[in-house]
């Protein structure tokens, strides 16, 4: 029997997935002093231009691109602000997937562009949710609604960083996280973990010192459409040797919506989701060896 069929028969994965990234293009917002994203078209057309299209002369595209590691939706490796801390390629792979806490702070920052998220805010979320913060944390400020308007999103359309205004994580809250919770990564839907007027970037430095990676410019605009009860985050940065950061495409899975297609079968739990993900990885590895599918 086909291995794929054996794994999938009896189960239908109906999971909501939210892409938390922005597209990389000429409108992508980046830190004012960083290299913006530029796509350079090297070839787009028939492989042998000017000749008739046939089996030996087919459509072919290839591009180059230039960008900062920290353009668009990206990861800050701990080495970005921590001496001798992990670069992108050194972060353990098991830190890139796991349960995530979506901390809704939109009401807090709504009337204050320079709001700094406090430890009390995080503690209040835990009290209201009846649970502790998970290894991955997303600070949901609602700032993504301003993307890609550079002036609204950064506070300025210039390259003068002293004019930046957007919310971030207070250093005291960053310190509370590293002292009281087991955290692998912290993300935010602004351009920086530290708020716009920061000059010492202490939240970056505090988290980096403990080898905690940061995700910035998360696209949280789609979060309103789904109620996430058991969210799972998957992050996959480019494995850049000694890299201080990398563009990423974080995917948020609503594992509470994963269910069986058999009314008599039990609902899938988050642990089953991990099993299915691993099973599919095995399928991909052995697929080429199967001749009866």
d(CA 142, CA 211): 26
Tokens of 74: 């990206």
What domains can you pick out in the chain, each with its CATH number?
A: 17-31+71-264 (3.50.30.50), 35-69 (no CATH)
* pLDDT at position 16: 84
Q: Is 122 exposed, middle or buried (0-12, 13-18, 19+ CB in 10 A)?
A: buried
User: Are 155 and 165 spatial neighbours (Cβ–Cβ below 8 Å)?
Assistant: yes
Helix (H, G, I), strand (E, B) or coil at 74: strand
Give CA angle at 134 (209, 147), nearest 5°: 80
Cα 267 to Cα 8, 10, 252, 257, 279, distances in angstroms: 15, 12, 20, 9, 18
Which backbone phi and psi does 286 adopt, to 5 degrees? -95, -5
Tokens of 30: 């980046």
Q: Could you list the pLDDT tens digit for every one of the 293 residues in the chain?
A: 444 443 333 334 446 899 999 999 999 999 999 999 999 999 999 999 999 999 999 999 999 999 999 999 999 999 999 999 999 999 999 999 999 999 999 999 999 999 999 999 999 999 999 999 999 999 999 999 999 999 999 999 999 999 999 999 999 999 999 999 999 999 999 999 999 999 999 999 999 999 999 999 999 998 975 677 789 999 999 999 999 999 999 999 988 755 444 444 344 455 555 555 555 444 444 444 444 54
* pLDDT at position 287: 44
Tokens of 92: 């353990």
* pLDDT at position 12: 42
Rounded to two decimals, the pTM is: 0.84
d(CA 21, CA 147): 11
38: which strand partners? Answer: 66
Strand order in the sheet with 251-254: 16-19, 251-254, 231-234, 97-104, 136-140, 185-188, 213-216, 74-76, 245-247
d(CA 245, CA 172): 24
């Amino acid at each position: 029997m086909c291995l794929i069929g054996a794994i999938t028969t009896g189960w239908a994965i109906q999971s909501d997935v939210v892409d938390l990234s922005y597209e990389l293009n000429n409108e992508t917002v980046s830190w004012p002093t960083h290299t913006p994203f530029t796509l350079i078209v090297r070839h787009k057309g028939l492989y042998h231009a000017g000749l008739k299209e046939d089996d030996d002369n087919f459509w072919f595209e290839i591009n180059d691109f230039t960008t900062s590691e920290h353009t668009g939706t990206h990861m800050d490796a701990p080495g970005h602000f921590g001496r001798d801390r992990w670069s992108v390629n050194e972060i353990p792979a098991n830190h890139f997937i796991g349960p995530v806490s979506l901390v809704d702070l939109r009401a807090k920052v709504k009337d204050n562009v320079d709001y700094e998220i406090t430890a009390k805010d995080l503690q209040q979320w835990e009290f209201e949710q009846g649970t502790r913060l998970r290894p991955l944390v997303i600070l949901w400020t609602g700032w993504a609604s301003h993307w890609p308007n550079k002036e609204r999103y950064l506070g300025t359309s210039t390259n003068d960083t002293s004019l930046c205004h957007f919310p971030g994580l207070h250093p005291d809250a960053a310190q509370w996280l590293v002292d009281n919770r087991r955290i692998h990564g912290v993300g935010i839907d602004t351009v920086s973990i530290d708020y716009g007027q920061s000059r010492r970037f202490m939240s970056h430095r505090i988290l980096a010192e403990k080898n905690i990676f940061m995700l910035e410019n998360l696209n949280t605009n789609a979060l309103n459409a789904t109620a996430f009860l058991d969210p799972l985050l998957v992050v996959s940065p480019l494995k850049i040797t000694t890299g201080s950061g990398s563009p990423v495409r974080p995917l948020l899975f609503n594992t509470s919506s994963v269910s069986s297609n058999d009314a008599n079968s039990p609902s899938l739990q988050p642990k089953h989701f991990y099993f299915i993900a691993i099973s599919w990885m095995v399928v991909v590895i052995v697929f080429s060896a199967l001749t009866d599918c």
